[in-house]
Amino acid sequence: MHVTFERQPPVGAPGSCSVANPVKVSGDSQAVWNRPGVLSCAMARTVERFEQQVVQPVALRVLGQRVARLVHMGTYACRTRRTDTKVAAAGNGGVAGGRLSEHGKGQAIDLGGFELADGTVVSVKKDWSGAGRKSEFLQELARASCEHFNVVLTPNHNALHADHLHLDIGPHRLCGY
Ligand SMILES: [Zn+2]
């Protein structure tokens, strides 16, 4: 699929954070990534399909150009879910005793923004709200994400997602745009 990746050794132990078939992705057929991210092979495939079928077509239609760089804020991370806004003050960690985040299984990615071919940056934090084309692009992207991912969380969900779109292929189903 023209994804640029390196195989990684299996992550973790059963019952805790684990990724059976991890790959470190640094770019795909459509865009380079701002930094490499470790994902399960299945998730890497899903992200690539999402880029081909949603990100690029929507960018071309709404913004008149391609996305050249995908800016993600995290992929694999061994932590519980950040479901409680109180945790925000405590930093990057999850809730003690909370359910394992899909990030802990390599099944999730947080997208912070997109850099277009001409260098224009579309940022979830700055451009999600409003009436401009950047906002239209992000909102349409979020809606269409639900066809590729099981959980889609946006700035509309809560303050913890004010600056990114959380996309995962875990067992739950929540389309929260
Ligand atoms: Zn996330």
Return d(Cα 177, Cα 174) in angstroms, integer.
9
pLDDT(20) > 90: no
Ligand 1 centre and the CA of 37: distance in Å?
13
Tell which wins on pLDDT, 66 or 84: 66
- Does the structure show a pLDDT above 60 at 90? no
Residues at Cβ < 5 Å from ligand 1 ion: 108, 110, 166
Q: If residue 123 lies in a helix (H) or strand (E), which one and from where to where? A: strand 121-123
Binning the chain into helix, strand and coil, the percentages to the nearest 5 are: 30, 30, 40
Averaged pLDDT for residues 1-6: 92
145 CA from centroid of ligand 1 (Å)? 14
pLDDT grade for 103, boundaries at 50, 70 and 90: very high
Give the Cα separation of 103 and 109 in Å (integer): 7
Rounded to the nearest angstrom, the distance between the alpha carbon of 177 and the centre of ligand 1 is 14
Say what the pLDDT of residue 130 is.
Answer: 85
Give me ligand 1 centre to Cα 47, in Å.
14
Q: According to the CATH classification, is domain 4-176 in 2.40.360?
A: no
CA 110–ligand 1 middle distance (angstroms)? 5
Q: What average pLDDT does the structure give for the chain? A: 89
Give the per-residue pLDDT at 89: 35
The pLDDT of residue 33: 94
pLDDT greater at residue 88 or residue 37: 37
Burial profile 37-71: b = 16 or more Cβ within 10 angstroms, e = fewer: bbbbbebbbbbbebbeebbbebbeebbeebbbbbb
Under DSSP, the state recorded for 155 is T
Task: Quote the pLDDT of residue 83.
Answer: 63
Task: Please check whether residue 124 is in contact with residue 113, taking contact to mean a CB–CB distance below 8 angstroms.
Answer: yes
Ligand 1 centroid, distance to 124 Cα (angstroms): 13
Query: pLDDT value at position 81?
Result: 77
The answer to whether residue 78 scores a pLDDT higher than 60 is yes
pTM, rounded to two decimals: 0.89
CA distances to 5, 119, 120, 124, 152 from 33, in Å: 11, 14, 15, 16, 20
Q: How far is the CA of 58 from the centre of ligand 1 (A)?
A: 22
Mean pLDDT, range 50-63, rounded to an integer: 96
Average pLDDT over residues 158-174: 93
> What mean pLDDT is predicted for residues 89-93?
43
Distance 166 CA to ligand 1 centre (A): 4
pLDDT at residue 86, as a whole number:
40
Candidates 113, 117, 128, 120; CA nearest to 71 is 113
Decide if 135 contacts 154 (C-beta within 8 A). no
Q: How far is the CA of 75 from the centre of ligand 1 (A)?
A: 7
